[in-house]
Structure 1
């Protein structure tokens, strides 16, 4: 009877240990997948946030907007302020 109980206890110990390992692996995989999804979601939101609101619908207008903004500003001769060329719409 005591040997039987010892066999059951050792089986349960092994079973519980393997269950902890299995749960740890599953949690690690879930956390990793959540992290990857968050990275993709954040990258998508950052790219949307960089665009001005009224240029989100039209890619061509957004390309024109970025080309205008990325041109180096000209120094004005009469003051120390810099002027940025405006788009011709």
Structure 2
């Protein structure tokens, strides 16, 4: 797991979601008690929020997912300065 600043989290997620081999991203608070998980399908993103509120936002286009991510980072991590981030890469099988 990598530790990044909260200000860099949105641009890091945007950059990683543009790669074809990215499967999912995980952003966690420093205490690891709250997290936001982004699961990438072919051309949509599902966001799972677990923390102050627990919600799932399925099948969002990339642009909408990035807008929502910015709001969720501010809501879930209001007093955090650093966030842990985890990246899962792989090959998507379309057989």
Normalising to structure 1: TM-score of the pair? 0.25
TM-score (norm 2): 0.24
Q: Higher relative contact order by CA 8 Å / sep ≥ 6: 1 or 2?
A: 2
Which protein is bigger by CA-based radius of gyration?
Answer: 1
